[in-house]
Amino acid sequence: MSTSSFRVRYRMLPSKDDPNAVEVCDAPCDEPQLKRSWLREFLSRETYYGSLLFNIGAFALPALYATLSKLWVANIDSSQVVTTDVYTYIGVIVEVLNDGLPRASWTVMGDKSTRTQQSRISLSYTLIIFQTFFGFILTIIFIASAERLAGAFVPAAVRQTSLTYVRISSVQALSSAVETAVSNCTRSLDHPDVPLLISCLKFFINIFLDLLIISRFHVGTRAPTVNTQALIRMACDLSSATAGLAYFIYIVVKLQRRSLEPSSKSRPSLASLQTLAIPGKWTFMESALRNAIYLWLISGIVSTGSDYATAWGVFNTIRWGIFMVPVQALQASALAFIGHAWGEWRAQVGATLRRPKATKKDLLLITHKAWVSCAIALAVEVPVCLFLSFWGIESFAYYLSESESVASTTQHMWKTIDWCYIFYALNAQIGAILLATTTRWYLIQALGSNLLWMLPWAIVVTRINMTPDSAWHYDSIIFGGALVFDFFNVGLVVAIWAWLLMRGRVSLSPVSGNL
């Protein structure tokens, strides 16, 4: 076989005698072997593009099922489609818990340069136990307050028949808490295959049981109900979260066996909880503020009537379902690799320095993956917005709702504000810079968005008499305007953050490799 002029650089693994020793050498390589190495690296879960492929799969399957589940319910009873949105709104409340400590994983567990592998695993254990405990507490609270939840998020016409659905859906507080903790921990540890496994199990088991029990072709003569669909979803959520947790433990055991670090058992601890709480308190406050205002506005939408509330639910199912998958996957990959780059920079300048200075080159290396994600997001979202604004949305909405009035309203919503989601796609990637580095600054940008835009509008809508005919005039300004405002707001805050970081005026917590 002829060899080309290509040469490949080999990096030797650290030895037990000197874990920090690294040797690099050049060796000739034939072109096919080089191509195979490049492809293997591209598809590796430890690279940005490889993790992106895993994350697309992990986000796509739940989004696809969320869409299909509305089809099942519409076939059972179209008036109950709005009831399924309770699952989403309970998820929004649980999001306050899931957006707290779990989002601190990017800057804490994502730091593989200044923290040891044992400490990152200990932090993972602590986070999962914390989330599981409080997820269980929230489930008990939701079940006990089912009537109040239905009163806030279900139109009056179907409120009484929705109580059982609300109680069953409450269990997602536990399952989603475990799933979010495991997913964030494993993504930070460069194992996006774990969230993909969770999504695959949830999707395929859900689809199999739905086809078997509640679809038009279901087995048996007993008529399925919307509560049957809720029971299936609950069982699948719990089983997939449990499977993900088991896979996580298997991976952790394997990592510890391969580790060259001094042998010590990783275990949850109060010290690890405190380490997570330092950045996690800022993300918790941001989520609590954002979701409280959102649910306040949603309760107003529900009160305007069943058709309008159903249309808003269908719009969000379409927009936040399949068509938001690339944005979510890009953000997850950007968060992981910005966290890695941030940890590497902290290790270089001194992990104990409270006010280190960054150069322009440092900032480019730290934020590089955010700008790559922005470029890809634009390439995907602009064609989606243009194409679907003219074709397909009304028919899609009708399939999900079995209602012509709901489909027409959904189409109007899409044409009015879908272009704003292009700004959201960029905002999500730029905001990842703050979320994976300094969560205090992430809270600062959130305060600007929520206090200067969302909160004033939330107060305004309580002072005006909104009807189904006039509601969208205000809601389009509120929700669409928020997406545009957030983009400029986060851009300004990131620019200020970068300017201050280059001058050594951003206060950082010292990092201990053992915590």
Residues 97/177, Cβ–Cβ less than 8 Å: yes
Q: Which of 292, 287, 315 is nearest to 413 (CA)?
A: 315
Residues 59/328, Cβ–Cβ less than 8 Å: yes
Q: Which residue has the tokens 């979320």?
A: 435
26 pairs with which residues across the strands?
9
Helix (H/G/I), strand (E/B), else coil: 7: strand
Q: What angle do CA 288, 455, 406 make, to 5 degrees?
A: 90
* Residue 15 within a domain: no
Length of the chain: 515
Instruction: Record the pTM.
Output: 0.81
CB atoms under 10 Å from CB of 382, counted, come to 13
Q: Which helix (H) or strand (E) holds 61?
A: helix 48-76
**Window from 100-114, 140-154, 488-502 with minimum mean pLDDT:** 140-154
Give me the half-sphere count of Cα atoms (radius 13 Å) on the Cβ side of residue 114. Answer: 23
* Residue 12 within a domain: no
> Would you say residue 278 has pLDDT above 60?
yes
**Average pLDDT over every residue of 29-57:** 73
pLDDT of residue 440: 93
Query: Domain range for residue 198?
Result: 50-502
**Average pLDDT over every residue of 281-306:** 82
Residue type, 19: P
Q: Which two tokens stand for residue 453?
A: 């835009």
pLDDT of residue 3: 41
Q: Which two tokens stand for residue 472?
A: 């969208």
pLDDT of residue 20: 46
Burial label, 185 (beta-carbon count in 10 A; 0-12, 13-18, 19+): buried
> Would you say residue 347 has pLDDT above 80?
yes
* Residue 6 within a domain: no
Q: Which of 159, 155, 73, 87 is nearest to 402 (CA)?
A: 73
Q: Which two tokens stand for residue 352?
A: 């104990």
> Would you say residue 163 has pLDDT above 90?
no
Confidence of residue 335 (pLDDT cuts 50, 70, 90): very high
Residues 266/251, Cβ–Cβ less than 8 Å: no
**Average pLDDT over every residue of 5-17:** 43
Percentage of residues of the chain with pLDDT beyond 70: 83
Residue predicted with more confidence, 396 or 141: 141
Q: What angle do CA 401, 407, 409 make, to 5 degrees?
A: 125
**Window from 68-72, 198-202, 344-348 with minimum mean pLDDT:** 68-72
Confidence of residue 300 (pLDDT cuts 50, 70, 90): confident
Q: Which two tokens stand for residue 332?
A: 């997850």
> Would you say residue 147 has pLDDT above 60?
yes
DSSP string for 403-438:
-HHHHHHHHHHHHHHTTHHHHHHHHHHHHHHHHTT-
**Average pLDDT over every residue of 480-492:** 94
pLDDT of residue 465: 75
Q: Which of 81, 83, 125, 80 is nearest to 101 (CA)?
A: 125
Burial label, 378 (beta-carbon count in 10 A; 0-12, 13-18, 19+): middle
| pLDDT tens by residue, 95-133 | 889 988 999 888 898 888 888 888 889 999 999 999 999
**Window from 27-36, 250-259, 394-403, 425-434 with minimum mean pLDDT:** 27-36
Q: Which two tokens stand for residue 176?
A: 């989603």
> Would you say residue 22 has pLDDT above 50?
no
Burial label, 13 (beta-carbon count in 10 A; 0-12, 13-18, 19+): exposed
Burial profile 400-409: b = 16 or more Cβ within 10 angstroms, e = fewer: bbbbeebbeb
Confidence of residue 80 (pLDDT cuts 50, 70, 90): low
* Residue 27 within a domain: no
> Would you say residue 423 has pLDDT above 90?
yes
- In terms of average pLDDT, the best of 29-43, 350-364, 485-499 is 485-499
* Residue 134 within a domain: yes
pLDDT of residue 13: 43
Give the 3-state secondary structure of 176-229.
Answer: HHHHHHHHHHHHHCCCCHHHHHHHHHHHHHHHHHHHHHCCCCCCCCCCCCHHHH
* Residue 24 within a domain: no
* Residue 41 within a domain: no
Residue type, 418: D
**Average pLDDT over every residue of 65-73:** 68
Burial label, 27 (beta-carbon count in 10 A; 0-12, 13-18, 19+): exposed
Query: Parallel, antiparallel, or unpaired: how do β-strands 7-11 and 24-28 relate?
Result: antiparallel
Residues 362/217, Cβ–Cβ less than 8 Å: no
Output the CA–CA distances (angstroms, integers) from residue 191 to 194, 247, 308, 322, in the order listed.
6, 11, 41, 23
Ramachandran quadrant class, 218 (left: phi over 0; alpha: psi -120 to 50; beta: rest): beta
Confidence of residue 52 (pLDDT cuts 50, 70, 90): very high
> Would you say residue 449 has pLDDT above 60?
yes
Residues 279/442, Cβ–Cβ less than 8 Å: no
* Residue 83 within a domain: yes
Q: Which two tokens stand for residue 246?
A: 């088991």
How far is Cα of residue 66 from the mean position of the Cα atoms in its chain?
Answer: 15
Look at the chain and report how many structural domains it folds into: 1
> Would you say residue 150 has pLDDT above 60?
yes
